[in-house]
Amino acid sequence: MSDMPIVSPFVPWVPTPNRKRRHVLDLDDFSAAEIIDVLDAATSMKEVLGRSVPQVPILRGRTVVNVFYEESTRTRMSFELAARTLSAATMSMTAKGSSVEKGESLIDTIRTIQALGADIIVIRHGESGAPYLAAQHFKGSIINAGDGRHAHPSQALLDLFTIRERLGELKGLNVTIVGDILHSRVARSNIWGMLRCGMNVTLCAPSTLIGDVRMWQETFPTLKISYDLDAIIPDTDVLMGLRLQKERMQAGLLPALREYSTYFGINQTRIDNLPDHAIVMHPGPMNEGVEIMPEAADSPRSVIEAQVTNGVAVRMALLYRLSGEATA
């Protein structure tokens, strides 16, 4: 059976507060209240993770399956740890080494995993919209663990959790997202979540890596765009660097990596020019020496390792939120 066309995920869903959630496909259908609920639940989950026996029976009897068509270290391992901590049975599949290599379609793969008893599928795919297609053919719940350049909602939620943990609140904070915006699903999901939570977001990149400026302005009227990182650093509370996604990049978008680092890299001088309370983030994996210098990644301002640690609690909170609807 061939796959149906993947629906466009770029049309935002309207948030419907209090709706019982079945899938987590992006943050565009999360209200601010639901985001805060997830962050509060993640705070409780973090307390569970700190116990001598970190396990609770919330997902006992349920099966969570990781289905990864693209590489991952943080997202895959933290979803697995999150599911196990909630007492779920876990299975995982990567495209490499599976029947995907024999040509099995996404829909048939999802139906096969359903036949094996999955309740929740966590899926990463190189094509934007693939998790939406999976959601149309699966009776349980789908969590998008990153689709093409479209969305990475669990990453955005763990970023929001880490910001709130470090700075105490979200509303009114000035966030600068610097780097390869064009190819970044992390940026897109963060923009939805941050704006919903009342944060002020500025995108900063060379014009070739910003994307369609008119689309940004029409979709997010309050979003700011800057091409001058040094000018906005002194007003930045949260500086988020993004990885240069060379694997998705067409030739010619960057004349030279060294020039890119000079104008848009996070280095010690730029860290020194941030306000005293400001934090530096990066979703990982990093190209150290390109978009962030080693001294910046390891500086006291850096919360990059905390982001990874918090990913487990936030993903537990997401699995918990879906648990009521997850039975096929």
Write out the residues near ligand CP by the rule CB under 6 A. 72-75, 146, 155, 283-285
Phi-psi region of 225 (alpha: psi -120 to 50; beta: other; left: phi over 0): beta
Residue closer to ligand CP (CB basis): 72 or 309? 72
Residue closer to ligand CP (CB basis): 275 or 285? 285
Task: Please spell the DSSP secondary structure of 206-258, one letter per residue.
Answer: -GGGT--HHHHHHH-TT-EEES-HHHHGGG-SEEEE----GGGPPTTS-S-HH
Neighbouring residues of 96: CB distance < 8 A, sequence distance ≥ 6: none
Residue 155 CB, shortest distance to ligand CP, in Å, is 5
Contact status, residue 78 vs residue 308, Cβ threshold 8 Å: yes
Q: For strands 120-125 and 89-94, give the pairing.
A: unpaired
Residue 160 CB, shortest distance to ligand CP, in Å, is 14
Residue 90 CB, shortest distance to ligand CP, in Å, is 16
Q: What angle do CA 130, 22, 67 make, to 5 degrees?
A: 40
Residue closer to ligand CP (CB basis): 43 or 72? 72
Beta pairing partners, 63: 89
**Nearest alpha carbon to residue 237 among 307, 167, 160:** 167
Which DSSP helix (H) or strand (E) runs through 280? strand 279-281
Residue 322 CB, shortest distance to ligand CP, in Å, is 19
Residue 74 CB, shortest distance to ligand CP, in Å, is 4
Residue closer to ligand CP (CB basis): 109 or 307? 307
Residue 207 CB, shortest distance to ligand CP, in Å, is 25
Which DSSP helix (H) or strand (E) runs through 143? strand 141-147
* Identity at 23, one-letter amino acid code: H
Residue 181 CB, shortest distance to ligand CP, in Å, is 15
Residue closer to ligand CP (CB basis): 107 or 306? 306
Residue closer to ligand CP (CB basis): 161 or 233? 161
Taking the C-alpha atoms of residue 188 and residue 6, their distance in angstroms, rounded to an integer, is 19
